[in-house]
Amino acid sequence: MKRVHAFGDDCLGELDGVGVAQAIAAGQFSASDAVEAALERIDAVNPTLGAVAHDDRERARKRAVDNDFPSGSFVGVPSIIKNNTAFAGLPTQHGSAAVPATPAAANEAFTDQLLATGINIVGASTLPAFGLTATTEFVDRDPTRNPWDTDYSCGASSGGSAALVAAGALPIAHANDGGGSIRIPAAACGLVGLKPSRDRVAPPKEGEAAPIDIISNGIVSRTVRDTAHFIADAERFRAAPGMPAVGLVEGPGQRRLRIALVTEPLTGQLLDPDTQRAVTAIADLLENLGHRTEMVPLPVDRSYATQFTDYWALMAYSLDHFGKRIIDKGFDRSQLDPFTRGLSRMALRRFWRIPGAIRGLKRSTAAFRGMFDRFELVLSPTLAHITPEIGYLDPAGDFDEIFERLTRYVAFTPANNTAGMPGISLPLAQDNRGLPIGIHFSADVGHERTLLEIGFELEAAQPFARIQDAVG
């Protein structure tokens, strides 16, 4: 295996984000020390991983010297922002050559919420073109690689963020999720990835005019603690309208939960043996911890998968035809990658179905949320099969073949996006190659606390595998 990581004996050591912030606050080292260590780590692994879209180290160094941070859980902690979210002074290129490298004039709303945690942004991380696929691969540059084995996909769309955190270059990183794009790379790279409820955090500008806002921002982390602190900080900055407060979750809950077990993807195929074994083992662990699990089918039929892919294609069509208005006035559609073009053409062929797809997705929300009349959580794999090699989802490959592979791979996560439910991927298993397998939990809208509590409990019962301990 070709494993790459940057863990060492510098000041960051093996600390998570909260640990780094606490050490800075205690005077054990400075924010400048932390950012220099992070930059050295990035420089050590990024030539192999290809996870940085834009470097912004000089401004990060200045912020550290000036101690120019809001008060939050991560004061002075080096981090990175995904390159589809506006951060003043950095270009927001969405992983595509179609978008000019024009520095953003201002932060978008979520960026200010992210910065309120106290992080120090050192740059922007890679994503595939417009986050439309589940691997961080490109047609015009090298892919972003999985640090657990560089021959394999790191997932997507928040692939660069996940690769850097998994490799130990950064403690936490920004991610966002429109169909699994926090949870998929978290699963592939052995991280914690929580997609919050719709409107738990400030909505992205892309969702403002969308018929269904499916995108939610968050982070990827190596510990449940970091994700819990991010949610608490985000909530202090902006209370979520119409939702119960989460507060700071600091450990397992006391309630024993009723948990639905879903193992059949909407696409109908069987899970591969490693994934099936992993999710069954976690169901058994939950039973041993006193929770009750019950296998159930998903509450919607396979038409949901078609409706979601129709909506997904509509997003590509909108970019293709209205990119100058949606993204940037300098948008050059002639530079779109083949996969985005293929999705756009598919939307055009299916255009007559789009209104029905939107209505169907909205109706499915009641069916998905209805599961929580009987259960507190839904357990499933994060992905329908183990992490593929780079090239399996090549955006320059035959569109029909790549599209079919994607829909089979990403069969569990989209329901949370269309229904607005929170979901978390936890790194609780590995396949026979030693690569991470993500285990997924869903909760009803507003119930992130339950997800974090089960995350703390399982992290203690079955500690997450560490890349620095693995052989390879």
Query: Which residues are known to be catalytic?
Result: 82, 157, 181
User: DSSP states of 174-205 as a string?
Assistant: EEEESSSTTHHHHHHHT-EEEEPPTTTSPPPG
Cβ-in-10-Å burial (0-12, 13-18, 19+) of 279 comes to buried
Dihedral over Cα of 325, 327, 331, 334: its sign: negative
Interatomic CA distance for residues 60 and 58, integer angstroms: 5
Gap between the terminal Cα atoms of the chain: 5
Instruction: Please give the structure tokens belonging to residue 188.
Output: 């592939």
Interatomic CA distance for residues 240 and 152, integer angstroms: 37
- Nearest CA among 441, 431, 427, 338 for reference residue 388: 431
Interatomic CA distance for residues 405 and 47, integer angstroms: 29
- Provide the pairing of β-strand 292-295 with 258-261: parallel
DSSP tag of 242 = T
Interatomic CA distance for residues 17 and 220, integer angstroms: 11
Where do the H-state alpha helices sit in 181-268?
Answer: 183-189, 224-237
∠ Cα 209 214 215 (to 5°):
90
> In sequence order, which residues have a C-beta less than 8 Å from that of residue 318 and are 6 or more positions away?
326
